[in-house]
Amino acid sequence: MKTLRNEKGFALLFVLILAAIALVMTLGMLFMVGRGSFVSGQQKRYRTAVEASRGGVEAMLQLIATRAGNPLFSNMTVVNANLQNKLDNTTNNWGVSVDKSLTINPTDNSTYDMRVDLVTYTVYTKIVDTVQGNTGPDEGLLNTGVVSEGPVNRGQPTIPYLYTIEVLSQSNGNVNERSKFSVLYQY
């Protein structure tokens, strides 16, 4: 009975339990701080890849505006000989030999139409679908002048084609740093 009521060593046991609890809390906080830094770094790299993709989209839109004329920038390379065909015809009229898949493989230049080499990123773009727009080509003024008497016949705005463009942006140093998205563009 005397040994059951003995309180020797109770303080040591209590301190060990408190130390274990403090150690678990400290390890949890260190894990959360480390994980937060990791996620923050990933988000930064992804945002950079998205911005590179937006630059590639702008280059592709300028290429569409010039109807696949000479590249506007020295770091832009048109690799697909069928690009003019994709710009001027609907997808059904591209022909059998034209790649219509959504896949872009950076190691195979037959899977994309244009490459833009940025400082640390390379952007690959590809037109995957061309659809006839809501009107035909511009026919000029519908009436005799800019302002006419009587009811106004404005007609619909001219949108000859709708293009679906796939974009892949990839870091030159790390292939895991990339972004991919689709753009619908009317021209």
User: Is residue 20 scored above 90 in pLDDT?
Assistant: yes
CA 138 to chain centre: 32
pLDDT in the model for residue 22: 96
The per-residue pLDDT for 15 is 92
Q: What is the mean pLDDT of residues 67-72?
A: 67
CA dist 77 and 100 (Å) reads 20
Question: Lowest-confidence range among 43-47, 70-74, 151-155?
Answer: 151-155
Residue 10 pLDDT grade (very low, low, confident, very high; cuts 50, 70, 90): confident
Question: Any idea how long the chain is?
Answer: 187
User: Is-contact 77 187, C-beta < 8 A?
Assistant: no
Within 8 A by CB and 6+ apart from 116, the residues are: 55, 56, 59, 73, 75, 76, 77, 122, 123, 125
Checking if the pLDDT of 54 tops 60, the result is: yes
pLDDT digits (tens, 9 = 90+) for 167-187: 999 999 988 888 998 999 887
81-137 per-position pLDDT tens digit = 888 888 888 888 888 888 888 889 999 888 999 999 988 999 999 999 999 877 655
Residue 88 CA to residue 69 CA, distance in Å, equals: 13
Average confidence score pLDDT of the chain: 82
76-85: buried (b, 16+ CB within 10 Å) or exposed (e) per residue? bebebebbeb
Q: Strands, DSSP E only, in the chain? A: 76-78, 114-117, 121-132, 161-171, 178-186
By percentage, how much of the chain surpasses pLDDT 70? Answer: 81
In terms of pLDDT, which residue wins out, 64 or 27? 27
Instruction: Give pLDDT, residue 4.
Output: 64
Q: 160 Cβ partners below 8 Å, 6+ apart?
A: 132, 133, 135, 136, 137, 187
pTM of this structure: 0.69
